[in-house]
Amino acid sequence: MLSKNGIPFCGGSLIGQMWIITAAHCLHPPYDPDNPNLSNFQHINITSFKVILGDMVIVSGWGKQFLHSIPETLMEIEIPIVDHDKCKHVYSQLGRQVTDDMICAGLKQGGSDACQGDSGGPMVALDNKKNRWFLVGTVSWGDGCGEDNRYGVYSDVRKSLEWIHNVTKVKNF
């Protein structure tokens, strides 16, 4: 999503013909939409597929690179899912709460992470049994970008499947 000045501020994932999943803080409040032309994009499947410790996921976005410049091309990183309890511990020391509807991913040594402007963007995983990519999370928050021992925190799409279906009537999982 772009601001009125053309600056990227959030991402999203097209899950149906007219539905985009993004982070709540990207749109509310205030929200001043220009009707986007969604016909140029393919939707991603949502799923009850659960990612587990060590699974590799891909996160993409137009956000800043290490808190500096906005990229000219869509960026993507491949990072592992990290232990939920370890992530909770890291952020509890900073006074932040990681809840059960969140997924943590990243590298202990840092270097690869979502950043400002990536919020709401997709975290996708390959289901090898179905040989298909699925949306498993959305970029939510973190502490800095690519910092040592600071993992990215993502909303777990599985935890919202019923709500997503009730609101959108999309059921592509």
pLDDT, tens only, 118-152: 889 999 999 988 888 899 999 999 998 888 989 99
- Six-digit token pair at 78? 């491949």
Confidence of residue 173 (pLDDT cuts 50, 70, 90): low
The whole-number pLDDT of residue 42 equals 60
CATH number of 2-168: 2.40.10.10
Q: How far apart are the first and last CA of the chain?
A: 25
What b/e sequence results for 17-51 when a residue is b if at least 16 CB atoms lie within 10 Å of its CB, and e otherwise? eebbbbbeebbeeeeeeeeeeeeeeebbbbbebeb
Query: What is the Cα 101 distance to its own chain's centre?
Result: 13
- Break the chain into its structural domains and give their ranges: 2-168
Please report the pLDDT score of residue 154 as a whole number. Answer: 96
